[in-house]
Structure 1
Amino acid sequence: MGLKELSPKYFKIEVEDNVGIIKLNRPPANAHNLEMLRELDNIIVEARFDDSVKALLVTSNVPRFFSAGFDINEIKEKPPEYIGLSSQFSKEVMLRMMSTKKLIIASINGHCMGGGLELALACDLRFGANSEEIKIGMPEVANLALIPGEGGTQFLARIVGRSKAIYLMTTGKTLTPKEAYELGLLDRLVEPEKLFEESFNFARQVAKGPALAVGFAKLAVNEGMDLPLYSAFALEREMQNQALASEDAKEGAKAFFEKRKPIFKGK
């Protein structure tokens, strides 16, 4: 089964030009529960082994919201053990996203709060709509006396730095996309009406390029950051060795000497 054959309840899946498009689809706010996380995990696994998919784009099919985070009704209705299981499983899904050798781009077209922001931060790149109406933040500490439980404490600190992460979590401050961009939480700011087009075009460019080498570079960064420098260099060397053995690397060298543009296949 390939990615496009999946029929999840809470996502809409499309594959176009070797880009897997994953649209969150749990109205009214794409708040996720354990079932939705399980579906996302299955989607990532399927995409990981689907050779026709070279890059992934995560966005929302619900108006106004990318994701409001974990469904607060679950806290009211479910026992603490269930919430703990959901939190742990969400971290496993995030790690799977980070260890998948395919670039994952978040196209943030609505409010992105709590676990929704944590999901976006687990993606490799984040494109956001430049709209003052969109709110981005992690309100769990200030509003619920909880902490970000889906990787947020670690993702946030690694991107904006320790003190800024603590400040944002402690105050529950919400950011505009422009403020998030200035902090480094977003990689590109795009006018709302052009967001999907630009996000998709970028993903398609990756898919048509040396997608395998992009994946090796991604793993070298994601896994190397938590290793001592010597071990990280060894990981980089291993990723380079695998890249050198690829068809794309041979094509790249051949095209260079023939003074033409390479034709990569992501193999």
Structure 2
Amino acid sequence: MVDDSSSSDVEVSESERIINVTFCRDAKLNAITPAMFDALDAAVIQLEQRADLRVLVIRGRGRYFTAGIDILTVGATVDPGGDASRSGYDFRRRYRADARHDLFDRLEMVEKPVILAANGPCMGIGVEMAVSCDFRLASEAASFRLPEVAKLAMIPGSGGISRLTRLLGTHWAKWLVMTDALVDASAATDIGLVHAVYPSETFDRDVDEFARKLAALPAEALGLAKLAIDAASEVDRRTARDIDRLAQTMLIQSESLRP
């Protein structure tokens, strides 16, 4: 089944049990708008609900994966003449809504693999999105940066700090968040932010091949593996082992078991 839909800023397509969301706002370096978040959110819901979809791939087209969130479109403005505490509250409320915290939670929680494929620089909210995904693939042209503290006097506040710390530990999380460091694809692999780096010339084909391999795996086993691995980082060791055993019991009784 192939189903394609697109807008001027984002394209959604399906092929070989894979749903692709491609940011294509190259004139603005793929800065992410609410409409682009909405398209990704809708794709995640499709992935959750449809058995024929096995994998989600998030891509960028053009020079950047994304330059970050498009601040001009999020609607989070502060009234300079208003009460400072109230204005701050309104900003945080709007920012929480527009940054789609629940979307990143869904990327993390959906029991199917989610791949972020960084074709070029991945900045700000793009890094927060990346650490919400299961697999992070990069082209040789990719780089990663969290400029919120240095450039905006803010923090990566859409779950990025907690996820980054869980993934890389405090050592590298502080380096990325607090120093405005620009990390190239090779260094991102060295610190554990990226799983694999591919040549820019073959990047799309390499990502497609990786996604097809995942899509061919037993869906229930793959989903329960994701659930058990994620749970292991959140619960005590005894509970994690119990989750492993329960998941294995379910799979042994499953019709998809391979003798």
The equivalent residue for 1:150 is: 158
Shift of 1:87: 3.0
Determine the C-alpha separation between the residues in 2 that align with 1:75 and 1:38. Answer: 12
Determine the C-alpha separation between the residues in 2 that align with 1:246 and 1:6. Answer: 35
Q: CA RMSD in A?
A: 2.2
1:43 aligns with 2:43: yes
1:87 aligns with 2:96: yes
Shift of 1:122: 1.0
1:248 partner SS: coil
State which drifts further: 171-180 or 22-31: 22-31
Structure 2 stretches of 5 or more lacking a match?
Answer: 79-87
The equivalent residue for 2:248 is: 240
Identity score, percent = 27
Instruction: Report the TM-score when normalising by structure 1.
Output: 0.84
The equivalent residue for 2:59 is: 59
1:58 partner SS: strand
Determine the C-alpha separation between the residues in 2 that align with 1:7 and 1:130. Answer: 27
Determine the C-alpha separation between the residues in 2 that align with 1:70 and 1:38. Answer: 13
Q: Is the 8 A contact 2:6 2:12 kept in 1?
A: yes
State which drifts further: 29-38 or 171-180: 29-38
Determine the C-alpha separation between the residues in 1 that align with 2:154 and 2:75. Answer: 14
Determine the C-alpha separation between the residues in 1 that align with 2:198 and 2:155. Answer: 30
Shift of 1:147: 0.3
The equivalent residue for 1:260 is: none
Determine the C-alpha separation between the residues in 2 that align with 1:5 and 1:86. Answer: 30
Q: How many pairs align? A: 247
Shift of 1:243: 2.1
Amino acid at match of 2:69: F
Q: Is the 8 A contact 2:57 2:211 kept in 1?
A: yes
User: Structure 1 219/4 Cα, relative in aligned 2: closer, same or farther at 3 Å?
Assistant: farther
Q: Is the 8 A contact 1:127 1:195 kept in 2?
A: no
Deviations along 1:21-67, one digit per CA (max 9) or x if unpaired, are 11123342222233332332221011211121111111113x11111
Deviations along 1:143-194, one digit per CA (max 9) or x if unpaired, are 1110001221012111221122112211111111111111111100110111
Structure 1 stretches of 5 or more lacking a match?
Answer: 254-267
Amino acid at match of 2:93: G
Amino acid at match of 1:148: P
Q: Is the 8 A contact 1:160 1:183 kept in 2?
A: yes
Q: Is the 8 A contact 1:130 1:192 kept in 2?
A: yes
Q: Is the 8 A contact 2:11 2:22 kept in 1?
A: yes
2:256 partner SS: helix
Q: Is the 8 A contact 1:3 1:15 kept in 2?
A: yes
1:196 aligns with 2:204: yes
The equivalent residue for 2:14 is: 15
Amino acid at match of 2:140: N
Amino acid at match of 1:238: L
Amino acid at match of 1:95: D
Q: Is the 8 A contact 1:136 1:175 kept in 2?
A: yes
Deviating runs (4+, > 6 A) in structure 1? none
Q: Is the 8 A contact 2:34 2:74 kept in 1?
A: no
The equivalent residue for 1:121 is: 131
Of 147, 162, 168, which residue of structure 1 is paired with 2:176? 168
Instruction: Report the TM-score when normalising by structure 2.
Output: 0.87
